[in-house]
Amino acid sequence: MRRYENINGEKPVIEIKEHHIPGSEHIILTFKNGYGASIIPEYHYPNKDKNGKEYSIKDRVNNKKVIPGLYEVAVFFNGELCYDTPITNDVLTSRNDPEVQRIVGMIQRLERMDIHYLHPEEHDLIQEEDHNA
C-alpha cells in the first residue's frame, strides 16, 4: 500500500476494506480537494462452468473471479460517486497498475470548478458594491 502513501506530495486518507470477493481489497483514497478514488479489482464473469454448461446470471455472479493486475477506478467527491469530472463520466475499468497510479494523481489534482468560495474580504467587497449601487 506504500504506493498510495504520497501522491504529488500529499498524504491521502487511506481506507482499506475487505471487498465482497474473499481475498480482495477495496481501497478508498481521499484527498484535501474533497475528491477521492475508489479502487477495486477487475472481475471476470464466466459464461459456462468447467463442463461447458451455460451459467445463469446468478451463477455467473457467484462464480466471478478476480483478474490479476487489472482494476476498476471510480471518482468520488465528498464521499459520493462523481460522474462529472474531466477524467471520466463513468467508472474506469480494466486499468493496470501504472494507469491506476496516473488516474489517482489526476484525481488528486482536480479542482472543483463549478463551486466558487469567496474569501471573507471578497465577500465584504461585494456587499459594499451592492450598497453603493
pLDDT in tens, 38-75: 999 999 889 999 999 999 999 988 888 899 999 999 99
Residue type, 46: P
Strand partners, 35: 77
Q: Is pTM, for the whole model, over 0.95?
A: no
Map grid coordinates 477506478 to a residue. 73
What grid cell was written down for 64?
466471478
CB 60 within 8 A of CB 46: yes
Supply the mean pLDDT for the chain. 83
Instruction: Provide the pLDDT for residue 114.
Output: 52
pLDDT in tens, 13-39: 999 998 877 778 999 999 999 999 999
Please give the Cα distance from 73 to 97 (Å, whole number): 11
